Amino acid sequence: MFHPRRTLRALLPPLVAGLALTALPAQQATAASTLTNGGFETDGSGTATPSGWSEYGDTGASYTESGGRGGGHRLSHWSSSAYRVETYQYLSGLTPGDYRLTAWVRSGGGQKSAHLALKNCGGPEQRTDLPVSDSGWIRIVVPVEVTGNQCTVSVTSDANAGNWINVDDITFAPGTSGLAVKGADISSLPKSEAMGGVYRSASGGTGDAVALLRSAGMNYARLKVWVDPADGYNDKAHVLAMAERIKARGMKLLVDFHYSDAWADPGKQNKPAAWAGHSYGQLKKDVYDHTYDVLHALKAQGTTADMVQVGNEINGGMLWNEGSTDNWPQLAGLLNSGYDAVKAVDRSTVAALHLAEGGDLEGTRWWFDNAVSHGVRFDAIGLSYYGYWHGTLHAFQTTLDDAATRYGKPVFVAETAYPFRLDSEDALENIIDLDSELVPGYPASPTGQTRWMNDVASIVEAVPHGHGLGVFYWEATWTARTGNGWDPADPSSGNGWENQALFGYDDRLLPATAWFRHR
């Protein structure tokens, strides 16, 4: 395990001496069309200016040291006092076109800014912030269009005393990246509006929440569907009405089938009351008929679903006990009934399978290995990833990358969220309400929420071979409204998630919606 304090204490003497170094000229005179010394192996440890690279600013805070990701060394930024430093390399003679910078990074967090950038490439500067990860390496990418035969690769820290980053194995090659899905679950919205919920722009003007989110850059909406919910919401009729609003704004639609009358998740997968006592053979027909019914009605009104989840967080299966993972042949039959119904309505609709615990590599492998061996059909893999429950960002990236590679399917984050504050707006204690529950480096603040979303998006963007589809935020519009609590059977139940919505306690759109404008 990486121990930054031990490493940095050992480096204090050379670092202090290095602070006297002055900034180098603005660019290397020996520019090349390929990146030089991207692994920082040429010079060994303690080199203030790595071969092929230039530096600007507080140059003593940038140096090579042992402990690389791939080889024996890495680039580090650190100083015992506040610093601003850029380590950069100027490339020329480039053929115009799309390029992608890839690098492996670690960061202790706390900086005003720590990012990789591609600039002076002929168009707008492109940058990707370093996620906070103080032990495991994380891969991030930066795409750019080169239009003028040159480009500058930059590693920049604007940091407080003691902040540090590691960077290694940088490559610059033809390619591109970005996210097709920048979405959110807004299933709570119709009930919120019925209970008097108000939604405002960042400047305070009231508006339609769907339009406000769309104007922020959201391009995909997720809606759950229950079979016969106690409060009448999240049923077929409400999904149909919401789909019209979503499609009218030019957004795509993901329909999330729970196959239950209320919440389905790893802890509960209860059959709808109308299906209780049905045989396994009848349950397969129930799944098909219900899935087909909702999706066919959507298509008939001109709002065809673009993606469908056959089940919600089905780590333990669905429709217990018949569809438990204790009986994979039966679970496979139920899942394939859902898949067949999706394709019977529209072959182009993406059929996804959704698990929770997005940082659990072994659990995800176990589940999908079983699914594949039992002939389960699916087009994409969705994972829930809540950083305060599901492991580190490094574990999340490892699981996501492995799923995409191992099963040859595109992957996406079906759910993630982060608090912008800890206190509650209603009488119910929030799900996350203590500093000790937070992900280190990500405070419960508008800034912390924004950083979380951008960093999760950057990790999905970096999935190899462009297999990272995107991210859905959960639950963007579930603000505190009397009557719109967690239990559809109890009008007095509260909301433990209002501090993780994308609208604040003043009902205004929060800064974290900026993540919808991720590439």
- Active-site positions read 313, 415
Chain centroid offset of residue 317 CA:
24
Any idea which residue has 């509960």 for tokens?
268
d(CA 253, CA 210): 12
d(CA 476, CA 478): 6
User: Which residues have a Cβ under 8 Å from the Cβ of 121 and sit 6 or more positions away?
Assistant: 99, 144, 145, 146, 147, 148, 150, 151, 152
Are β-strands 73-78 and 220-225 bridged in parallel, bridged antiparallel, or unpaired? unpaired
* φ/ψ of residue 339, rounded to 5: -60, -45
Q: Do the Cβ atoms of 103 and 168 come closer than 8 Å? A: yes
d(CA 322, CA 221): 31
Residue 129's identity, in one-letter code, is D
The tally of CA atoms less than 13 A away on the side-chain side of residue 196 is: 4
* HEC secondary structure over 181-218: EEEEECCCHHHHHHCCCCCECCCCCECCHHHHHHHHCC
Q: Do the Cβ atoms of 120 and 58 come closer than 8 Å? A: no
User: Which residues have a Cβ under 8 Å from the Cβ of 5 and sit 6 or more positions away?
Assistant: none
Using DSSP's 3-state secondary structure scheme, residue 98 falls into strand
Any idea which residue has 């490892």 for tokens?
398
The two structure tokens encoding residue 328: 């994979």
Task: Report the DSSP beta bridge partners of residue 159.
Answer: 83
How many DSSP H helices and E strands does the chain contain? 9, 18
